[in-house]
A and B are shown apart, each in its own frame.
Chain A
Amino acid sequence: MKTKLTALLLTAVMGFSLMACGSGNASGASDLQAVKDKGTLVVGITDFEPMDYKDESGNWIGFDADMANAFAESLGVKAEFIEIEWDNKALELESGNIDCVWNGMTLTEEVLSAMDCSKPYCNNAQIVIVPADKADQYQTVDSLSDLNFAVEVGSAGEAEAAANNLTYTSVSNQANALMEVAAGTSDGAIIDSLMAAAMVGEGTNYENLTYTVGLNSEEYGVGFRKGSDLVTELNNFFKASYDDGSMAATAEKYGVQAALIAQ
């Protein structure tokens, strides 16, 4: 009885793991066709001004949201925006709950290994946040070595902290990293420059914080399932809308025109 039960359990476990292996390749069917069939392009986002955020009436706007709407329109479908838990973006894609991640996503090695991405469309940098009254002491990368940084787990900021041999603690998101600095539990944080511009300094809730050194610059891209034919489709769309100036016009609307990358 016991050996039979063990055998049964083992078979079940092996069966599941086999299915897990198979699923990666099984999604070879056309994503483009699937999106057209269901009539919606499901876009995974987070609330992230100025890329994706809600206007007064609750509609998603922002540079990424407007571009996603235009891209969906070019395919003859509607864009549906769904807020996801950022840590689970690859899971959301692979499990088919969303069709793309379009949310100012930095093209890190982790991202590139987990998804097929569009060409980069926007520049960004990781910058160091410290309390304003200590900012003078930390204007160079060398001066940061004795600080304790808070960074978002799995973020480009974390990669930069590791690459520059800084001491750091990984927290769940960039907002928490800022809170660590405000609360004094960390000496500094490393976050996206686009986000820092909106959240830190005069007139924000973090008036006592400021940014100093810019670490490695990086690029934003849109992520799709591995092997998805939507990637080429979007690259073509980016090229067309860059050439006719509509991409630049949208970027200007949200103040990110300086960061735009030629397609």
Chain B
Amino acid sequence: MSTFLEQLPIVINSLNIGFLQTLKLFFVTLLGALPLGLLICFGSMSKIKPVKRLFQLLIWIVRGTPLMIQLLIIYYFPGLVLDNPIWGGAESGRFAASAVAFIINYACYFSEIYRGGIIAIPIGQDEAGLVLGMTKSDIFFKVKLLQMIKRILPPMSNEVLTLVKDTSLARIIALQEIIWAGQAFMKGSQGISGAIWPLFFTAIYYLICNGLLTVLFARLEKKLSYFR
């Protein structure tokens, strides 16, 4: 068996490819879940009762069931029950199914954080806006939105850091992200077998990524601290 130094570049190369997949899922999820979360948030705060109940039901189901089960259902359900494997077996299909599951799941969590940020803003601001003759959407986008963003930054940073690590759940439908890449060397891959250290190596990737995100969130908070 080759030495550690000979194995290192092979392992790093594999982990890099896996981590790229992790990052791809992370960014696609954020891109989809941030706006979808706002939509679900509006739905769950709607004045129309059935709409409100429907969105509350959705949030309950999505937050109340494990993401791992959601991944399995979204990926296998079309082929198993509907006899129509829409995702296909290829890597791209697995990624698309993972992205859909993650976006729906995280949008529901985000929506509740948004809701918390919105209801934290005193009702006096709505009243003041109405008196000034502003429309409801004007009040939301021009008065309340930035205050909401400022308030929800700390809980959002929590969710975003969790998202980085949660992407590893997609390995259940064989999306080859970084944990999958690390584990491959335990079983044997590219001439390296029974190696446990690559799996623990993956932790460094997560740590660096989340370190950068923490710094980014701290900066954002500072930028928004010009008003209270």
Instruction: Indicate whether A85 sits within 8 Å of B194 (C-beta atoms), given known contacts A23-B83, A94-B79, A173-B187.
Output: no
**Mask: chain B, 51-86; 1 = CB below 8 Å from A; 0 = not:** 000000000000000000000100111111111110
A201 to chain B, nearest CB (A): 10
Which one of A20, A49, A182 lies within 8 Å of B193 (CB-CB)?
A: A49
Which one of A16, A95, A179, A199 lies within 8 Å of B76 (CB-CB)?
A: A95
A203/B81 in contact, CB under 8 A = no
Judge if B100 is at the interface, Cβ distance under 8 Å. no
Which one of A19, A47, A91, A97 lies within 8 Å of B82 (CB-CB)?
A: A19
Judge if A83 is at the interface, Cβ distance under 8 Å. yes
**A154, B75: Cα distance in complex, Å:** 22
Judge if B173 is at the interface, Cβ distance under 8 Å. yes
Judge if A205 is at the interface, Cβ distance under 8 Å. yes
A48/B188 in contact, CB under 8 A = yes
B80/A198 in contact, CB under 8 A = no
* Interface residue ranges of B192-219 to A (CB < 8 Å): 192-196
A35 to chain B, nearest CB (A): 13
Closest to B87 in A: A97
Interface residue tally for chain B (C-beta within 8 Å): 36
* Interface residue ranges of A82-139 to B (CB < 8 Å): 82-85, 88, 91-92, 94-98
Closest to B187 in A: A175
**A105, B210: Cα distance in complex, Å:** 40
Residues of chain B having any CB pair with chain A under 8 Å: 1, 72, 75-85, 87-91, 93, 171-174, 176, 183-184, 186-190, 192-196
Residues of chain A having any CB pair with chain B under 8 Å: 16, 19-20, 23, 26-27, 42, 44, 46-49, 53-54, 80, 82-85, 88, 91-92, 94-98, 173-176, 178-179, 182, 195, 198-200, 203-206
List the 4 closest A-B pairs by CB distance, nearest first.
A95-B79, A205-B194, A97-B89, A175-B186
12 sample A-B contacts, Cβ–Cβ < 8 Å, listed by A number = A23-B81, A23-B83, A47-B187, A80-B89, A84-B174, A85-B174, A95-B78, A97-B76, A173-B187, A174-B187, A182-B196, A199-B194
Additional A-B contacts beyond A178-B194, A205-B192 (10; CB < 8 A): A42-B89, A53-B188, A88-B172, A91-B80, A95-B78, A175-B188, A182-B196, A195-B188, A204-B194, A205-B193
